[in-house]
Amino acid sequence: MNYPIPDSPQEIVALRQKPIDEEMVAAAIAGVIKIVRAQGQSLEDLTAQVLADDSLLDLQQRRWLSQVVAQAWENFS
């Protein structure tokens, strides 16, 4: 993978400076999972955050992303 897994929210934000590709998205998701776990949060906590209404993604996209995050969570167990 060309992108290391981020260890902090600042490193995730820094990914915005990189071209968007599948590896960058995977690194960002892995970084979020790593940070959430380090904060003692659960998959359910993270899923609730992903599914929360926002102006960036519609409901269908948030549901799809929550499934991707859940699969990644299980793979990193």
pLDDT for 49 equals 94
Residue 66 burial by Cβ neighbours in a 10 Å radius (0-12, 13-18, 19+): middle
In a domain, 41, yes or no: yes
Q: Considering the domain boundaries, does residue 2 fall inside one? A: no
Tell whether 46 is covered by a domain. Answer: yes
Q: What does pTM read for this prediction?
A: 0.84
CB atoms within 10 A of CB 32: 20
Q: Summarize the confidence of residues 27-40 as an average pLDDT.
A: 95
pLDDT tens string 41-61 = 999 999 999 999 888 889 999
Q: Total structural domains in the chain?
A: 1
